[in-house]
Amino acid sequence: MEHGPAIIQILLIIAAAPLFGGLITKIKNIVRLRRGAPVLQPYWNFFKLLGKSDEVISQHASWLFKAAPYVVISSSAAALLLVPLFGGFAAAGGMGDIVAVLFILALGRFFMALAGMDAASAFGGMGSSREMFISSLAETAALVSFFALALNSGSTSFAAIAGDGVFRASSFTAGFALFLVAIAETSRIPVDNQETHLELTMVHEAMALEYSGRSLAIIEYASHIRQLVWFSLIAGIIFPLPPPSGCGAALAAASAAVFALKLLALAVIMAFTEISLAKMRLFRVADLLMFAFVAALASAVLAAGGY
């Protein structure tokens, strides 16, 4: 069972994915001196939605609308397979290619955007249009930062990138650019707001507006997984550690703990970012993502110079 640990790690992470979102919300509420929802609230939402026996969908919707949630969750989970998590290795082993992750995530987004347009509602269309606009800019910034990371390690393979374990200025800058990208990709303030349900301002929520019951539960879970894909990626880049040598249960537990700590740190940073900023209007978001792109270019220049 060579892949045993990897599979256990993936299942653990998938099960724990909603926890990360709940944690960020909790931290935000603590800082705002509110009691807020329990950390496990995303799970309660998930099971509540699954409990609904009937889904009301638009009369205009086609088979694509029904199939989209499954494509979205399988693409998010497949992307997670490629990302190295605890031990510096990904579930898919040497197949983990950093560029491929972007394309696999794009598959889910493509179907989500199509589903948004399918219900013949202007809100869904608005959401799809904005999502594709934001993501096309974010993807560029992400790819250029990946380029910088790959220049450092000489390969776009995660095994090489994560196996490095050395702190570099270029990696840090790339991590910063990726953090801005992750804000956009996980629909957080200042790009989008997960807490609002005002039709005119939402992006991701607008695409999912027509969903209910099980399909909505799947879509929400998929966004939790996608969020974790981005944050584990960034955690591995901003806080580089050499991969653990040897194996054993104790070591696995230790590296899992380290991984959890990295994510916790990111959750705190994310929460403070969210509460200290206001949501931007769409064309300010474009500026923010252009800034991310410039940061990514800077990281590539640093990487080219050997820093």
Partner 1 sequence: MIPSITGNFAFLSDPLSLFFVFVIFLISAPAAIYSAGYLKGDYSGGKIKLAWLLLALFVLSMLAVVSASNLVLFLIFWELMSLISYFLVIFDSGHKKSIQAGTVYIVMTHFGTALITAAFLIMYRYTHSFDVLAVKEAAYLIPDSAKGAVFLLLFFGFGAKAGIVPLHIWLPMAHPQAPSHISSIMSGVMIKLGIYGIIRFAVFTMGISHLWQGEIVMILAAVSCLVGVIYALMEHDIKKLLAFHSVENIGIILLGVGGSMMFLVMNQPALAVFSMAAGLYHLVNHAIFKGLLFLGAGSVYKATGTRDMEKMGGLIKLMPQTAFAFLAGSMAISALPPLNGFISEWLTFQAIFAGALKSAGNGVMFWITAASALALTSGLAAACFVKAFSVTFLAAPRSEKASEAKESPFSMTAPMLFLAGLTLFFGLFSPQILRVMAQVAGATLGIDTQNMKFSVLNYGVTSGLENAGAVSGWLVLAALVLLGLAAFFGLRIFYGKQRFTAGRTWGCGYYASDSRSEYTATAFSKPFRIFFSFFLMPYRKTEKATHGGYHLKYFKYETHTTPFFRTFFYEPAVAASFRLAKKVRRMQPGSIHLYLSYIFAVIILLLVFRGKF
**Judged by CB under 8 A, which of 23, 90, 126, 271 binds partner 1?**
126
Give the H or E element holding residue 199: none
151 binds partner 1 (CB under 8 A): yes
- Non-local (6+) Cβ contacts of 122 within 8 A are none
Taking CB under 8 A as the binding criterion, the range among 25-33, 35-43, 235-243, 279-287 that sits at the site for partner 1 is 279-287
**Of 70 and 172, which CB lies nearer to partner 1 in the complex structure?**
70
Q: Hey, how many other C-beta atoms are within 10 angstroms of the C-beta on 176?
A: 19
Tokens 């497949």 found at: 78
**Phi, psi for 97 (deg, rounded to 5):** -110, 130
Q: Which of 15, 38, 44, 136 binds partner 1 (CB under 8 A)?
A: 136
To the nearest whole angstrom, how small is the minimum distance from the Cβ of residue 251 to partner 1? 23
Contacts of 252 (CB under 8 A, 6+ apart): 5, 86, 87
- Residue 51 belongs to what H/E stretch? helix 41-51
Q: What is the C-alpha radius of gyration for the chain, rounded to an integer number of angstroms?
A: 19
State the amino acid at position 247 in one-letter form. Answer: C
Question: Can you tell me the distance from the alpha carbon of 176 to that of 188, in angstroms, rounded to the nearest whole number?
Answer: 16
Smallest distance from partner 1 to CB 135, Å: 6
- Region of 130-138, 179-187, 243-251, 261-269 interacting with partner 1 (CB under 8 A): 130-138
Phi, psi dihedral angles at 193 (to 5 degrees): -135, 120
Structural contact between residues 6 and 89, judged by C-beta atoms closer than 8 angstroms: yes
> How far is 108 from 225, CA to CA, in rounded Å?
12
**Is residue 62 involved in binding partner 1 (CB under 8 A)?**
yes
**Which of 38, 154, 165, 242 is the binder for partner 1 (CB under 8 A)?**
154
- Pick the binder of partner 1 from 6, 83, 144, 162 (CB under 8 A): 144
Exactly one of 90, 191, 209, 229 binds partner 1 (CB under 8 A); that residue is: 209
Region of 28-36, 185-193, 249-257, 292-300 interacting with partner 1 (CB under 8 A): 292-300
Contact status: 123 vs partner 1 (CB under 8 A): yes
Nearer to partner 1 by Cβ, of 122 and 166: the residue is 122
Contact residue for partner 1 among 31, 39, 100, 269 (CB under 8 A): 100
Choosing from 128, 170, 171, 187, the residue that interacts with partner 1 (CB under 8 A) is 128
